[in-house]
Structures are given as C-alpha cells and as structure tokens.
Chains A and B, each alone.
Chain A
C-alpha cells in the first residue's frame, strides 16, 4: 500500500541535495569550485548593448552583375559569337544575339555543367534565370543565386564584425547570424555603444586611385567629394591598391608636421604595385578613397618601394586610431544598417535584479503564509516542496547555463504562484475522498490517482504556451518562456516525488486521525 522504500527516500534526498548544491554555486565567487557553472545574466540584468545589423546586399548584387557582364563579354568573344547591346537594366543583364546563334548561346547558359551559369549540380537551379524574348537574352539572379550572394556576404560580414568588435576589446561579445542577411551583436557590460556603432557603420572600403584631369581616362572617371565636404576632385576608376593589400595599419604622430597620421604596411603584391605606380606617377596626385570619399590626395614626391606609407587627413588621435582599426580588420562586403538597438546601463540592470529578488521573496512569503494558513501540516509540506522546487528550477537553469532575464525572474515568481496548484488539486481531492472514505490511506491514494489527469492537462496547456513563446518570442521574453517551461517540469517532479513522499509518511503515521486535512 503506502510504502516508501529506504532506497527511494535516499535517492530523492540525494537529488534534492544535488540541486541545492548546484543552485548555491551561483553565489560562489571562486572560479575553481567543483561546479563552475552559473546562470548567465541577460543584457537587461547585467547591462549591455544589443545591436541587430542588416546587411544591405544591393551593392553586392550590382557588383556581381557587373562582374558577370565582364565574364559574359569575354566568354562570347572567346567563342567568336557576335552580340550587341550588353547592358544592366533593373538588376537584369540584357544582350542581343543573332537568331542563328541563339540556340548555341542558350545552351551555354542552360547546360548543367555551364561555366558561366553555375550551381546547377548543387541546387538543381542555375545562378541566373534565363528568359529569351526573340533575340534578346535576359538574365536575372535566380533564388539560389541571391541566396548564395546573401550567405557569402553574411559570412564575410560576420568575420569582419567579429574582428572589429574584438579590436575594441569588449568582454565576451556574442556575435551570431540571424536569418540570411542579419547579424546580431550582443555586448555585455557596454553601456555606450557609440564607438562600436560608428565602427560597424563604416564599410571601410579603401582604394588608392590617381586624381586625373582627363575625363577620357580608359577606365572611366568619377567626381568624388573630400571627406570634409569642402572640395571635390575627378578620380580615375582604375584602382592602384585596395585595403586587401594592407598588412597592418597604426595611428602615428608625424614628427615633422606634428600631425596625426595612419601609417600602413603593404603586403608583397601591394608594395610592388605601389612602387610601380609611384615611379610612373611622380608629381601626380594619388587620392586615398575611403567609402566613396577622398580622405586626402597627396602629391607623389618620389618612388615609394618599401611598401610603407602614411595617410594624412586632419585626424584627431581618436579618428586615426579608428581608421587604423578599420583598415586592419578589413572592409565589409556590404554596408550594414543598425535596425534594432537596445542598451541597458549597468545600474538599471542591478536595480532590476534587486527589484526582482525582492518581488520573488515577498511573493514567496505571501504564498507560503497563505498555504500554511489554509492547510496547516499539508501546507507546510507544500511549502517545503515549493522551496525545493525553486532550488530545482534554479539548479536546472544553472546546469544548462541558461540566460536569466528580467521577464525570466517574473517567470520564476509566477511559477511560485502556480506551482502550488498541483498540490492544491491533490489536497482538495483528498479532502473530498475523506468525506466518503473512513480509511485515510485509501482516501490519500485515491486523491492522488483521481487528480492526476487534471494536473497533467493543466500543466501541458501552460507548457504549450511556453513553447510557442520560446519559438516566437525574442530576447528577454525568451528567457521568460524558459523559466516558465522548466518550472512546469520541476513542479511536477517536486509534487510527485517530494510532496507525495512527505504527505505519505505523515498519513501513515496519522492513519486514525479523524480530520486528515
């Protein structure tokens, strides 16, 4: 009948002690304690910055189209096929081919092994979708072509963002992909993300190009503004060097001019090219272009073959440091936009923790007082169960190193309020059974059995809500769903193992008692 083996009692006690131990490890400071696991505090509790960045892939797509246009031009020339009017219009590549060649050209693009329109074997779809209107060929990036562009620019951007954030040296940043064109950056402890935001807001695309007066330059020219906005100059589109050729960049004081500059070191290829360009271009102005703006355009005085150089341009020490950092970490494949920012100062985080802990203690006290008043001994048992339940909940959150947020704390407090429900259902049922049944032990057993379906159903409905919240919710709200869901399991465990054992032991001793509850 109602019998609890010594083994069972020992096991339950051990499990309980284990979780109390784990939960307590959160309050130890020493790193080398037996269990070094701790609950992570969310950004809303420890303070910090949350930035969601979206990659603007428009320029990358256009770049891809431009590159492909060149490839197509060379390819068709190679195959000696006449074409005309090759152009980009509305993100489509369009060209005309005479009727006799149409079928041949179509095959080039639709062949499974196509060189100029790849991906078929990987995705069962080409990089470009081809549409033919009479003699006009229209190529548009296919779904997979676009995905490929997005994922590759996301991979690159992630790497560059990571380097830039690491260079600034914040503690334990969390940088992860979101979807296929977003990057999430979490910076714990950072209460003013201004600097990181401005560093991430720059593509840092560096090029060295000659200033020219001749608008008939073979590579084409463009008018670019100077960074300070005062002036503009015509610059050749021919790129002498770009940021990829940079090995290192550092801020420096130029002793002669007393100016802050960024000094750089080029790699071998870069040094060679730079030497060649400076040797042919003595007396010419070399524009240093960053993100479409001219930083400075010094006149070349002599050949620079060492691969070392300096960029000047009205820098403060801070702006020179930042530019050097950007150049060291490399250019982003595409511009990033900050589409969501949430920053919490550390003092607000601490206030939230304090408020949460006070609310938890008061809520807990109110609930246990009410339960004791209502059920006396059984209430006391329910309260012990509730306390153990709290240890279980905190212990499991610790074991999984879950992230605790302010709504998460609310979830714990709510669990305190709702966890007693299972015990209440059981106690009320036992009370009812006692009215019909003289034998306390039978009434007790029946109470447990008959309340089971209601308890399971009631908890599963809450669990369903928590699971949906976990998958649909974001950030702090996710933390709420985690504590709520874990709370359900710990509640069921503590009720069916601990409360049942304690109440059972009490009932066995009070078999003859007239009024059990």
Chain B
C-alpha cells in the first residue's frame, strides 16, 4: 500500500501555487484566442513551389495592408497557416488576397482552408464557450450532490476547477491557440476528471459504510489504493488513444489532443490529491453517509 496521504499537504501546496500562477497568467498574459473567438481570417495554404517560404509569404502579405497578421508553418514543409486579424468579411476579401498573392509569388499555391469569422460571431462563440464550461461545472456539482453528499460535491468541483484552470494556464504559458475544439477538450476533461473522482469517491463511500473505526485520513488512502490499478490502467488506455490522435490525427487535432492529454494527467492527479484531501478537511465520517441513508 502506498501512503498517498503522507503527501496531501505537500501536493496541496504545489497545486495551490500552480492554480495561483495559472490565474495570474490568465490575468496578465491572457490567452491566445484563435479566429473563432477573436474574429479575423485564417488561411491554410499549400504551395508546390519550393521557393515559397514563411519569409516570402510574410513579405507578400505585408504589402497587402491587412493590418496585423501572422504566418507560420503548419505541419508539412509546404503547408502554411496565415492568420489575419482584420475583421473583413466582405464577399470578395478572400478573392482579393488570392489575386494579390498570385501576382507576388506566382500561382503555384492553393487555399486548403479558409475561415473568416466576423466580430459578432466570434463574441457569441466565446460567450457560449464560457457558458458551456461554467454550465458543465454546475451540472457536475449538482449531480455529485444528488448522488453523494455536499462534501463530496465540493471536493469534486474543486478538483475540476483545478484541472481546468491549470490546463488553461499551460495554454497561456506556451501561447497555444484557444479555438472551438479546445472548448470541446475542456468539457471532455471535465467529464473525464469527474469520472476518475467519482470512482474513488464511490469506494470511499463504500468503505465508510463498512468501517466505522477508521478515520477519514486513513480511509481515503485505503480507497485510493484499492482503486489505484483501475485509475492507472484507464489513464494509460485513454492516454494511448490521445497520443495516437496527437501524433497521427493531423495538424488540426493537435491542440485538441494536447489539451486532453494535459487534462487527463491533471484529472488523474487531482482525483487523488485534491478531491480526497478535501474530504479529510471537511471531516467526512460514517455519520455523513448514514444521514444520507436515513433521509
């Protein structure tokens, strides 16, 4: 048996500082919002011409008077991603860019993907993304409250909050792009992390019923150990699936799978080191559970 409970304090401190650093990052550095949430134009370009590179594209685009823009390589040697902040959704904006580009670098390229999002739509998408994440946290809070007791619900929700904040903090730190699929990833993280927490909580509750003489500090440790092999195996299989999406699923799914990988790692960790210490702090005992049964 591993004594997880010996490190409750240490890891709580680490988690707390990670959460604080993440919040500071989110506040002061902010997130790198993609076209979905900031509006603007995104073009994925593939060229057949070896002479076309980031530098030549950059100089062609800077001649077009499009305001702030960003050119980078996208996966393959001859694939590029261009992001233009200008919110020009007029019907022929893309056509004009195509024409000017042809005259400056020749016609040996094609636009594989074009996304043009107006300011109104991007603001709405951002709003609905934030609402979705908030709503999912509230829904989980209620579900656990109904299935368990409020102490469990509080522990689970803090663990979730921890996972979401640190994942977003890492996205801020490494300047990774936040787009619609990242919102999907965050929601799935919420589901996964919850899933993990619930399995351990289920065991804690079972053990609380069985042993009246074991203190919660000891009891959480027993429960974590009893479910440990399951926790590890499921994390491994999920990570195997995610890593294969990250490596082979194409450039578009990279951000999504990376967010999910981080989320699964933090979700597994927080089920042990956030969700359980909170039960200890809240002095959960057999009484907490029995009260539930008599109701």
Does A pair with B?
A: yes
The residues of A with any CB-CB pair to B shorter than 8 Å are 44, 52, 54, 194, 197-198, 200-201, 337-345, 347-348, 351-352, 355-356, 358-360, 362-363, 366-367, 370-371, 374, 406-407, 409-410, 413-414, 416-418, 420-421, 424-425, 428, 432, 450, 453-454, 457-466, 468-469, 472-477, 480-481, 484
Stretch at the interface among B26-34, B108-116, B213-221: B108-116
Given contacts A339-B121, A410-B249, contact A428 B229 (CB under 8 A): yes
Residue in contact with A356 in the complex, picked from B187, B243, B250, CB distance below 8 Å: B250
Q: What residue in chain B is nearest A418 (Cβ atoms)?
A: B238
- A59 to B191 alpha-carbon distance, docked (Å): 47
Nearest-neighbour CB distance to chain A for B214, whole angstroms, equals 17
Partner of A413, one of B89, B128, B229, B244: B244
Q: What chain B residues lie within 8 Å of A351 (beta carbons)?
A: 250
Q: Please tell me which one of the listed residues B120, B184, B192, B194 contacts residue A473 in the complex, with CB atoms under 8 A apart.
A: B184
Q: Bound state CA distance, A362 and B245, in angstroms?
A: 9
Considering the chains assembled together, what is the distance between the CA atoms of A337 and B88 in angstroms? 11
Instruction: Give the distance in Å from the alpha carbon of A371 to the alpha carbon of B237 in the complex.
Output: 8
Given contacts A348-B112, A413-B244, A465-B136, 10 further A-B contacts (CB under 8 A): A338-B89, A341-B117, A359-B247, A366-B241, A370-B240, A417-B238, A461-B143, A464-B140, A468-B136, A469-B188
CB distance from B41 to the nearest CB of A (A): 9
A374 closest partner in B (C-beta): B233
B residues within 8 A CB of A366?
Answer: 240-241, 243-244
Return 23 A-B CB contacts under 8 Å, by A number: A52-B121, A194-B95, A197-B92, A338-B90, A339-B89, A342-B114, A352-B250, A356-B250, A356-B253, A358-B249, A359-B244, A366-B240, A410-B245, A413-B249, A417-B242, A418-B234, A421-B237, A432-B226, A465-B190, A465-B191, A465-B194, A468-B136, A474-B125
Q: Are B132 and A469 in contact (CB under 8 A)?
A: yes
Q: Is the CB of A343 within 8 A of B191?
A: no
Q: Which residues of B contact A421 (CB under 8 A)?
A: 195, 230, 234, 237-238
User: Would you call B44 an interface residue if the criterion is a C-beta within 8 Å of the partner chain's C-beta atoms?
Assistant: yes
Q: CB of B183 within 8 A of chain A?
A: yes
Closest 3 CB pairs of A and B: A417-B241, A465-B191, A355-B250
- Which of A371, A406, A460, A472 is the one whose CB lies under 8 Å from B129? A472
Complex-state Cα separation, A54 to B118, whole angstroms: 11
Query: Within the assembled complex, what's the spacing in Å between the Cα atoms of A414 and B118?
Result: 32
> Are B248 and A359 in touch, CB under 8 angstroms?
yes
Closest to A358 in B: B248
Nearest A residue to B95 via CB reads A194
A410 to B187, CA, bound (A): 14
* A343 in contact with B113 (CB, 8 Å): yes
Q: Per a CB cutoff under 8 Å, which of B92, B187, B198, B233 touches A465?
A: B187
| CA distance in complex: A200, B161 (Å) | 45
Chain A residues in 8 Å Cβ range of B190? 465
- A345 and B58 CA atoms in complex are apart in Å by 23
Q: How far is the CB of B146 from chain A (nearest CB, A)?
A: 10
Max chain A Cβ within 10 angstroms of own Cβ: one of B120, B184, B192? B184
Central interface residue in B90, B129, B238, by most chain A CB within 10 Å? B238
B271 nearest CB across to chain A (Å) = 11
Q: A464-B191, A473-B183 are in contact. Are A370 and B236 (CB under 8 A)?
A: yes
Closest residue of chain A to B206 (Cβ to Cβ) is A450
Give the chain A neighbours of B206 by CB distance below 8 A: 450
Given A348-B112, A355-B249, A425-B199, are A469 and B187 also a contact pair (CB < 8 Å)? Answer: yes
Instruction: Chain B residues near A458: list those with CB within 8 A.
Output: 194-196, 198-199
Name A461's closest neighbour in chain B (CB-CB): B194
Look across to chain A and name the residue whose beta carbon is closest to the beta carbon of B236: A370
A428 touches B230 (CB 8 A): yes
Q: How far is the CA of A406 from the CA of B257 in the complex (A)?
A: 12
* B262 CB-CB contact with A under 8 Å: no
- Which residues from B are CB-within-8-Å of A413? 241-242, 244-245, 249
The verdict on A340 contacting B121 (CB below 8 Å), with A428-B230, A454-B202 known, is yes
Map CB proximity to A onto B136-148 as digits: 1 under 8 Å, 0 otherwise.
Answer: 1001100100010
B78 interfacial by beta-carbon distance below 8 Å? no
Write out the residue numbers on chain A whose beta carbons fall within 8 Å of the beta carbon of B226.
432
Q: Are B244 and A424 in contact (CB under 8 A)?
A: no
Give complex CA distance A450, B205 in Å.
Answer: 12
Interface residue ranges of B98-114 to A (CB < 8 Å): 110-114
Contact B181 A477 (CB under 8 A): yes
B112 touches A344 (CB 8 A): yes
Tell me whether B154 is interfacial, beta carbon within 8 Å: no
A341's partner among B116, B181, B249, B253 (CB-CB below 8 A) is B116
Are A407 and B181 in contact, with the CB atoms below 8 A? yes
Partner of B184, one of A363, A420, A481: A481
Query: Closest Cβ of chain A: how far from B69's Cβ, in Å?
Result: 17
B127 to chain A, nearest CB (A): 10
Q: Which residue of A lies closest to B193 (CB)?
A: A461
The A-contacting residues of B in range 135-186, CB under 8 angstroms, are 135-136, 139-140, 143, 147, 180-181, 183-184
Q: Say whether B237 contacts A417, CB under 8 Å.
A: yes
C-alpha spacing A420/B187, complex, angstroms? 20
Inter-subunit contact A367/B237 (CB<8 Å): yes
Q: Indicate whether B131 reaches chain A with its CB closer than 8 angstroms.
A: yes
